[in-house]
């Protein structure tokens, strides 16, 4: 089968012919129909984020149709439309029992530690597969598996309550989902911060109040727009020290900043004025949970999460084209989410 693979960091991704994956009794083989291209993929290629052993097939936002099932599989059947939760875990360790399976000692992420979905097929444990309702497009189902699900997890980690004000730093795939999910969860007002006017216009069309970081200090602007108070919740999905700090600086008294943007760099806070003196909370966000998937699908099914505007481009399973998309992500281009249609 065809697979677009990372063969070395700081090298272009390449198309390789590899065997259709084998699968176990509790696994299913999924024919991939759509797979998103995420900023994390650009980080794997550039070396900002380490991957498992290379080469590896990239792609962790995957949806498709069940092609074959193992002998012990009962929840999905051949022909079912499914989306793929990107982490596999043991289900039986300290972290799995505590409900934070992303820290499972055997956790593996597809397209990073194990073969991903930029390919004709992917093999996954049955319990990583979620039925995609017919009302939700296969491409939307794919994109939901990373950007939207991490946004939902971030808002839950930040303990968003009805009536809270929210600021979302960065309107990429995660940010555009975070805006919609925050509103669906009862946020009074959602501010969206970006430097890119195209992305600010998208955020506004999704119901956010745009705040341009290109026109001045977004923290000052958020304070002005909130009568000096700041926001109850902020979500940072860019991964830059400056925006991480702004996400904390924009908080109201007892506000919570959920930091979900990946970075290998340090960010600093002024300890009294920005943290202690306001009882601010800085919360790290890692991945998301399988049990959050059904709720996420409900939001999409009820029209609270519209991903059609987020998917701004569709490309074929072509290594050169995909490599160009990763270059664009490195430059923070206009496109929100590009999906490979297989």
Q: Which parts of this chain interact with Zn ion (CB under 5 A)?
A: 38, 40, 89-90, 93, 96, 104, 146
The residues, any chain, with a CB within 8 Å of residue 156's CB and separated by 6 or more, are 292
The residue among 112, 120, 118 whose CA lies nearest residue 86 is 112
Strands (E) located in the chain: 2-6, 14-17, 27-37, 56-57, 62-69, 81-84, 87-88, 108-109, 121-125, 129-131, 165-169, 189-194, 209-212, 231-236, 251-259, 281-284, 311-315, 337-341
CA 28 centroid distance within chain: 23
Tell me whether residue 106 or residue 212 sits nearer to Zn ion (CB atom): 106
Helix (H) or strand (E) holding 325: helix 319-330
Tell me whether residue 250 or residue 307 sits nearer to Zn ion (CB atom): 307
Going edge to edge, which strands form the sheet with 2-6? Answer: 14-17, 2-6, 56-57
Tell me whether residue 93 or residue 188 sits nearer to Zn ion (CB atom): 93
Tell me whether residue 89 or residue 128 sits nearer to Zn ion (CB atom): 89
Tell me whether residue 86 or residue 169 sits nearer to Zn ion (CB atom): 86
Tell me whether residue 20 or residue 100 sits nearer to Zn ion (CB atom): 100
Q: Cβ of residue 19: shortest distance to Zn ion, in angstroms?
A: 26
Q: Cβ of residue 97: shortest distance to Zn ion, in angstroms?
A: 8
Q: Cβ of residue 246: shortest distance to Zn ion, in angstroms?
A: 23
Q: Cβ of residue 100: shortest distance to Zn ion, in angstroms?
A: 10
Q: Cβ of residue 89: shortest distance to Zn ion, in angstroms?
A: 5
Q: Cβ of residue 125: shortest distance to Zn ion, in angstroms?
A: 12
Distance between CA atoms of 328 and 42, rounded to whole angstroms? 9
Q: Cβ of residue 94: shortest distance to Zn ion, in angstroms?
A: 8
Answer yes or no: are the C-beta atoms of 260 and 236 closer than 8 Å. yes
Distance between CA atoms of 119 and 127, rounded to whole angstroms? 21
Answer yes or no: are the C-beta atoms of 115 and 6 closer than 8 Å. no
Tell me whether residue 117 or residue 255 sits nearer to Zn ion (CB atom): 117
């Amino acid at each position: 089968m065809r697979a677009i693979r990372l063969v070395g960091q700081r090298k272009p991704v390449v198309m390789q012919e590899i065997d259709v994956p084998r699968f176990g009794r509790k696994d299913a083989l999924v024919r991939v129909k759509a797979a998103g291209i995420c900023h994390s993929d650009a980080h794997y290629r550039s070396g900002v984020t380490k991957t498992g052993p290379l080469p590896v097939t990239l792609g962790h936002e995957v949806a498709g149709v069940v092609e074959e099932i193992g002998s012990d599989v009962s929840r999905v059947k051949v022909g079912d439309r499914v989306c793929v939760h990107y982490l596999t875990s043991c289900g039986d360790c300290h972290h799995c029992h505590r409900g934070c399976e992303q820290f499972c000692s055997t956790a593996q992420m597809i397209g990073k530690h194990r073969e991903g979905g930029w390919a004709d097929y992917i093999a996954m444990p049955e319990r990583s597969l979620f039925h995609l309702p017919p009302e939700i497009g296969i491409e939307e189902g794919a994109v939901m598996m990373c950007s939207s699900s991490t946004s939902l997890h971030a808002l839950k980690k930040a303990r968003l309550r009805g009536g809270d004000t929210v600021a979302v730093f960065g309107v990429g795939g995660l940010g555009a989902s975070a805006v919609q999910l925050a509103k669906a969860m009862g946020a009074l007002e959602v501010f969206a911060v970006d430097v890119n006017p195209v992305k600010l216009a998208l955020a506004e069309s999704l119901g956010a109040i745009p705040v341009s970081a290109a026109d001045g200090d977004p923290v000052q602007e958020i304070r002005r727009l909130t009568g000096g108070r700041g926001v109850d919740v902020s979500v940072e999905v860019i991964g830059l020290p400056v925006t991480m700090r702004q996400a904390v600086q924009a908080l109201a008294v007892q506000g919570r900043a959920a930091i979900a943007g990946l970075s290998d760099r340090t960010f600093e806070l002024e300890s009294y004025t920005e943290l202690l003196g306001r009882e601010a909370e800085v919360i790290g966000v890692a991945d998301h949970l399988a049990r959050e998937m059904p709720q996420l699908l409900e939001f999409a099914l009820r029209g609270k999460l519209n991903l059609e505007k987020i998917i701004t481009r569709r490309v074929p399973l072509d290594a050169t084209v995909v490599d160009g998309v990763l270059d664009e992500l490195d430059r923070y281009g206009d496109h929100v989410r590009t999906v490979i249609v297989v």
